Amino acid sequence: MIRTSELLKTLKQQLRQAGITYAQLATELEMSEANIKRMFSQGKMSIQRMERICDLLQIDFLQLAQMASKQRSQITELSYEQEQEVVSNKKLLLLTNLVISRWTFDEIMAVYRFDEHELTQLLAKLDRLKMIELLPGNRIKLLVSSIFKWQPNGPVQQFFEKNIQTEFFRSRFQDESEKLVFISGMLSKTSNKRIQEKMAELAEEFEKCIQSDMVYPTKEKDGASLVMGLRAWEIKAFNDLRR
């Protein structure tokens, strides 16, 4: 039996792929954008409302259920122990990110320092983790869901956070492909929440671009990372002057 949460995840993915924002959906359903966000975040939505959204997407409810069923058969996350295994081998971690980005065997060999036997062995590990199916001729069938996420504060996230602090900001952000924005000021709790919602929308747009750019050959794309952060903070030099 398909759970409501699975239907909503699939519905959210279809909206993203169709380029329909929460604001647009709110207008179509004659609801507030806040209520739309609340329905998705709390996982509570009536069948009738789902059907209305399906009509907007030009799919029927049966198709939505079939999509959700297919998503269920795909991996949406690894266990903590599996992530530890991936992080313990930097080449395996690199390879995991490459296959999620749909790199082929030949593309990986052409760009990174793997020999054929080593790469095949590492791909076999991902096969055992059920992230891919390694097919004859070293073809890679991705078994990871489009909503795949690393464990919150898990080994992989901790690895990347550590490297963000030590490597990401070693740049003057002056290249045309780079941009750094830093703003500070006083915010109410209401405004803070609003900014966080905008950050979530931007993250969804980033994911949407990744999906739409799958049609481009790997050689026409560059790895890109987006870092966003918001917290109650004042630099130590200023904070030290407080009474």
Residue 161 resides in a domain: yes
What's the pLDDT at 166?
83
Mean pLDDT by 10 residues, the chain (243 residues): 79 85 90 89 86 92 83 77 94 94 92 94 93 92 82 92 86 92 92 91 86 84 90 85 78
Residue 242 resides in a domain: no
Tell me the per-residue pLDDT of 63-91, one tens digit each, with 9 for 90 and over.
888 887 776 667 778 889 999 999 999 99
What's the pLDDT at 217?
84
- Does residue 178 share a domain with residue 112? no
Last residue of a domain, one of 155, 170, 185: 170
- Does residue 97 share a domain with residue 37? no
- 166 is in which domain, residue-wise? 75-170
pTM score, whole prediction: 0.65
We report the CATH number of the domain holding residue 20 as 1.10.260.40
Tell me the per-residue pLDDT of 108-122, one tens digit each, with 9 for 90 and over.
999 999 999 999 999
- Does residue 120 share a domain with residue 205? no
Whether 10 contacts 67, CB under 8 Å: yes
Last residue of a domain, one of 146, 170, 194: 170
Helix locations, the chain, DSSP H: 4-18, 22-29, 33-42, 47-57, 61-72, 80-87, 90-100, 105-111, 116-128, 155-163, 189-212, 236-239
Residue appearing with tokens 């006083």: 186
- Does residue 82 share a domain with residue 166? yes
Residue 104 resides in a domain: yes
What's the pLDDT at 72?
65
Domain count of the fold of the chain: 3
Residue 243 resides in a domain: no
What's the pLDDT at 102?
87
Q: What is the CA radius of gyration of the chain?
A: 21
- Does residue 96 share a domain with residue 178? no
